[in-house]
Amino acid sequence: MPVTSQQLLQWKKEGRPIIALTAWDFTLSRLLDEAGVDLILVGDSLAMVALGYDSTLPLTLDEVIHHGKAVQRSVRRGLVICDLPFGSYQESVQQAVQSACRVIKETGVQGVKLEGGYPAMIDTVQRLVQIGIPVLGHVGLTPQSVHLLGYRQQGRSPESRLRIVEEAIALEQAGAFAVVLEHIPSDLGLEITQTLTIPTIGIGAGCHCDGQILVTADLLGLSVKKPPFAKVYADLSQVVTHAVQQYCQDVAQKNW
CB of 98 to ligand KIV, least distance (A): 21
Known catalytic membership, residue 166: no
CB of 204 to ligand KIV, least distance (A): 9
Q: Is 43 in the site for ligand KIV (CB under 6 A)?
A: yes
Cα–Cα distance for residue pair 181/202, rounded to 1 Å: 5
Q: Is 222 in the site for ligand KIV (CB under 6 A)?
A: no
Of 11, 12, 21, 22, the one binding ligand KIV by CB under 6 A: 22
Stretch that binds ligand KIV, among 30-38, 41-49, 59-67, 243-251 (CB under 6 A): 41-49
Q: Is 203 in the site for ligand KIV (CB under 6 A)?
A: yes
Cα–Cα distance for residue pair 124/93, rounded to 1 Å: 5
Q: Is 38 in the site for ligand KIV (CB under 6 A)?
A: no
Print the binding letters for residues 73-112 with ligand KIV: x by CB under 6 A, - otherwise. ----------x-----------------------------
**Residue nearest ligand KIV, Cβ-based:** 43
Cα–Cα distance for residue pair 86/216, rounded to 1 Å: 21
Which CB sits closer to ligand KIV, 128 or 141?
A: 141
Number of residues that bind ligand KIV (CB under 6 A): 12
Buried b (16+ CB within 10 A) or exposed e, 66-96: bbbbbbbebbeebbbbbbbbbebbbeeeeeb
Cα–Cα distance for residue pair 135/248, rounded to 1 Å: 47
Angle among Cα 60, 131, 76 to the nearest 5 degrees reads 65
Which CB sits closer to ligand KIV, 96 or 248?
A: 96
User: Residue 150: left (phi > 0), alpha (psi -120 to 50), or beta?
Assistant: left
Strand partners, 116: none
Question: DSSP E strands: which ranges in 46-177?
Answer: 79-83, 111-113, 135-140
Going by C-alpha positions, the residue among 34, 134, 50 that lies closest to residue 84 is 134
Q: Is 180 in the site for ligand KIV (CB under 6 A)?
A: yes
Q: Is 44 in the site for ligand KIV (CB under 6 A)?
A: yes
Print the binding letters for residues 122-141 with ligand KIV: x by CB under 6 A, - otherwise. ----------------x---
Binding site for ligand KIV (CB under 6 A): 22, 41, 43-45, 83, 138, 180, 182, 203, 213, 215
- Mind telling me the catalytic residues? 182
